[in-house]
Amino acid sequence: MACALAPTDAAAHAPIPGLMGFYVGMLHPLSTPPQLLALLALGLMLGQQFPRDFLVCWIVFAICCFAGMVLGQTVGMQGTEDAWLLAICAIAASLAALLPNGFVLPWLVLAGGCGLLVGIVSTPDPGHWRPTLITLAGSFVGANLALLFSTGGVGWLTEHFSQPWVRIGLRIIAAWIAAISFLMLALVVSGASDTKQISPSEDAQSMILERPLMRPVARAIQAGRLLCGRSLACGPRRDKLRGA
Amino acid sequence: MSEATRLVIFGVVIIASILAPGSVEAHTEGGLAGGFISGFTHPILGWDHVVAMVAVGMWGAFLGPPAIWLLPVVFPLVMAFGAALGIMGIPIPAVETGIAASAVVLGLLILLAAKLPLWAANVIVAVFAVFHGYAHGVELPAATNSFAYAAGFVIATGLLHLIGILFGLLIAWPFGAYAVRAGGGVISVVGLAFLFGIV
């Protein structure tokens, strides 16, 4: 009792060297909406048939996550990772909503892609190798734990509650996540950031044209405009928007 | 205390709570909360959207399982696709007409108690969802937080479907079926009013 109550130095943060970096890395996969949504979508996709094919998907995710971290350190980030993460999230959540029985091949591709991108975006700022390694280790553990928890949570729900509304509810949540991802993907692709005025103008197209990876989207826009003509889209809402 | 007295007291408390003076807020909060509120209120403040989304839920309930939950799954997915088209500026013809027509058609389908095959119901709902999503995408304001905006927008849409489903579940009772079909008629009339620019 005396030992427990003995006065010592107050430590508001972890006194173990490197633990803070590990902790920061571990929370990183949960810190941005694209990563969080993608891990949730994967969990909903894999968890509805848990434990079917989960182990192989998880191994692929972990290997790709490691590969992504190596890529992030060597090649660096390209700036389009969030868009790709949101695209994977939208596809995974759509599959979870519409085809909950699923097929293992798309699951593997999506798990691998998600792992790779989460690994790339987990790359910390350049610095000494030791704290970098500790932060990356934290991110690796955090990403894998997040996938385990989301998949396990969904699997537990479907296993312990046999009522049909549980599976229906999960599919509706998956549909909502897919819809949110689609919307965010459109915002990212159109170049509208959180602090920027969002308006569907010609500026959006020119922003897309500037990005090599987004050229197919720009071509689709041009084809759409040729097909329909700009004037056809001018309803009262758009006029109101332009007037404002 | 009689039942009527209890109801009166309950009503007075509710009205007093609503009318109670609070702090004046000229603007909504910024950041995450502002984005969510902005997104959440967007589908609710447009009556043409409200009636159509409630109609989707009602028709789903009318069709029974699996349409009761499949239509609310399909609608937000396709609506988000339409919103993406709107955000990126890809043109779609006759958006306003499509939105008003959605209320007219879905209302009529409920009024006539039309039991279409599941695939046909999905196609009809998906086509109209594109118009609704497109209008939301075009009108997207300068949301302070895109994630919060998108989440609020999708959740509000889902809740409107839920209201429709709950109302549609009245078909379990004989009088309820008439009430639901009458509701479909009202939705159809509202849609016509929007179609001809009366409201």
Whether residue A173 lies within 8 A of chain B, CB to CB, comes out as no
pLDDT at A39: 92
Tokens found for residue B161: 């479907």
User: Which among A145, A168, A189 is the end of a domain?
Assistant: A189
Query: Is pLDDT above 90 for A227?
Result: no
- In this structure, the answer to whether residues A185 and A207 fall within a common structural domain is no
pLDDT surpasses 70 at A126 = yes
Q: Would you say the C-alpha torsion A189, A191, A192, A197 has a positive or negative sign?
A: negative
Determine the structural domain holding residue A206 and report its residue range.
Answer: 200-244
Is there a single domain that holds both residue A204 and residue A93? no
Looking at this protein, which amino acid is placed at residue A185?
L
Residue B124 located in a structural domain: yes
Structure tokens at A1: 């009792």
Q: Which residues of B are less than 8 Å from A33 in CB distance?
A: 147
Whether A208 shows a pLDDT value over 60: the answer reads no
A12 is a domain residue: no
In chain B, the number of structural domains is 1
Q: Which residue has the tokens 């109302």?
A: B167
Considering only the beta carbons, identify the residue of A168, A190, A233 that sits closest to B87: A190
What mean pLDDT do residues B152-172 have?
88
Q: How many CB pairs under 8 A join A and B?
A: 135
What pLDDT score does A232 carry? 36
Least CA distance to A198: which residue of chain B? B142
Instruction: Give me the domain span that covers residue B53.
Output: 35-195
pLDDT for position A241: 37
Q: Where are the beta strands (DSSP E) in chain A?
A: none
- Please state, in angstroms and as integers, the Cα–Cα distance from residue B198 to each residue in B79, B132, B192, B194, B195, following that order: 26, 20, 8, 6, 8
Contacts of A221 (CB under 8 A, 6+ apart): A205, A208, B88, B89, B90
Domain count, chain A: 2
A221 located within any domain: yes
pLDDT per position as a tens digit, B57-66: 888 888 888 8
Domain annotation covers residue A6: no
pLDDT (0 to 100) of residue A44? 92
Q: What is the DSSP string of A221-237?
A: HHHHHHHH-GGGG--HH
- Residue A147 shares a structural domain with residue A36: yes
What is the pLDDT averaged over residues B107-116?
89
pLDDT in tens, B67-80: 888 888 888 889 88
Confidence of residue A27 (pLDDT cuts 50, 70, 90): confident
Chain B environment of A201 (Cβ under 8 Å): 89
- Of the candidates B138, B145, B154, the beta carbon closest to that of A241 is on B138
A49-76 exposure pattern, b = at least 16 Cβ within 10 A, e = fewer: bbeebbeebbebbbebbeebbebbbeee
Chain-wide mean pLDDT for chain B? 80
Same domain, A130 and A181: yes
- The 3-class secondary structure across A155-181, one letter per residue, is HHHHHHCCCHHHHHHHHHHHHHHHHHH
Alpha-carbon distances, residue A235 vs B25, B45, B151 (angstroms)? 32, 18, 26
Question: Minimal Cα distance from B30: which residue of A?
Answer: A195
Q: Is the pLDDT of residue A195 over 60?
A: no
B81 lies in some domain: yes
The model's confidence at residue A239, banded by pLDDT at 50, 70 and 90, is: very low
Confidence of residue B148 (pLDDT cuts 50, 70, 90): confident
B159 to each of B5, B11, B53, B154, B162, how far by Cα in Å? 33, 25, 9, 9, 5
The verdict on residue B10 lying in a domain is no
Q: How far is CA A45 from the centre of its chain?
A: 14
Q: How confident is the model at residue A225 (pLDDT cuts 50, 70, 90)?
A: low
Q: What is the mean pLDDT of residues B119-125?
A: 91
The answer to whether residue A197 neighbours chain B at the CB level (below 8 Å) is yes
In terms of C-beta density within 10 A (0-12 exposed, 13-18 middle, 19 or more buried), how is residue B24 classed?
A: exposed
Residue B134 within any structural domain of the chain: yes
The predicted pLDDT at position B187 comes to: 92
Q: Which two tokens stand for residue A85?
A: 């993460």
Q: Does the pLDDT of residue A63 top 90, yes or no? A: yes
Has residue A4 been placed in a domain? no
Whether residues B89 and A180 touch (CB distance < 8 A) is answered with: no
Q: Are residues A173 and A76 in the same domain?
A: yes
pLDDT of res. A194: 45
pLDDT of the residue at A59: 92
Which of B90, B160, B194 to mutate to test binding with chain A, by most A CBs within 10 Å of its CB?
B90
Same domain, yes or no, for A119 and A165?
A: yes
Task: Give the pLDDT confidence of B14-42 residue by residue, as tens digits.
Answer: 556 555 555 544 555 556 666 788 788 88
Query: Which residues 120-159 of A are in CB contact (within 8 Å) with B?
Result: none
Q: How far is CA A99 from the centre of its chain?
A: 20
Residue B108 C-alpha from the chain's centroid: 17
Inter-chain touch A241–B158, beta carbons under 8 Å: no
Q: Which of B73, B87, B94 sits opposite A198 (nearest CB)?
A: B87
> b/e per residue, A107-120, with b = 16+ CB within 10 A?
bbebbbbbbbbbbb
User: Across all residues in chain A, what is the average pLDDT?
Assistant: 76
pLDDT value at position B11? 52
- Tell whether A198 is within 8 A of chain B (Cβ): yes
* Domain annotation covers residue B6: no
Res A62: pLDDT: 93
Chain B contacts to A (CB-CB under 8 A): 69, 72-74, 76-77, 79-81, 83-96, 135, 137-147, 149-151, 153-155, 157-158
CA distance A190 to chain B (A): 5
For residue B139, is it within any domain? Answer: yes
Q: Please determine, for residue A114, whether its predicted confidence score (pLDDT) is greater than 60.
A: yes
